[in-house]
Amino acid sequence: MIRNLLIAAGIASLSFAAIAPATASAATTTKKHESRWDRHHPRRDEVNDRLANQNRRIHEERKEGDLTKAQARALHKDDRQIRQEERDMASQNGGHITRTEQRTLNQQENAVSKKIGE
């Protein structure tokens, strides 16, 4: 009888071990899904729309010959750093950025924007 109880306990623990990773996986999927929607938060959208616009302007200026390849590369690098900073800020705030963070990112984008028009 004790043997049967030990076997039943072993089977139960194996069943639980098989269920636990599936539950964790479902939670991870939900988190990933939520973060996709957070990308479209109004403050994040505004910052990312500006970055996309600056990217387009850099390409146009390069195409017109107003920027050298090295200048365009440096400006793209600045924009990538701003975009990464935006993502890092959002990851610390549940997928959102604060107004203060938005202002900071906009100031950085303004500095890059001035370099594009020089």
pTM: 0.64
Nearest C-alpha neighbor of 86 from the set 43, 116, 57 = 43
The pLDDT tens digits of the residues spanning 6-59 come to 566 666 555 545 555 544 444 444 444 444 446 678 899 899 899 999 999 999
Q: Is the pLDDT higher at 7 or at 96?
A: 96
Domain positions in the chain: 1-34, 39-116
How far, CA to CA in Å, does 20 sit from each of 11, 27, 114?
A: 14, 11, 53
Nearest C-alpha neighbor of 104 from the set 47, 52, 56 = 47
Q: CB-based contacts of 3: which residues, under 8 Å, 6+ apart?
A: none
Q: What pLDDT does residue 37 have?
A: 44
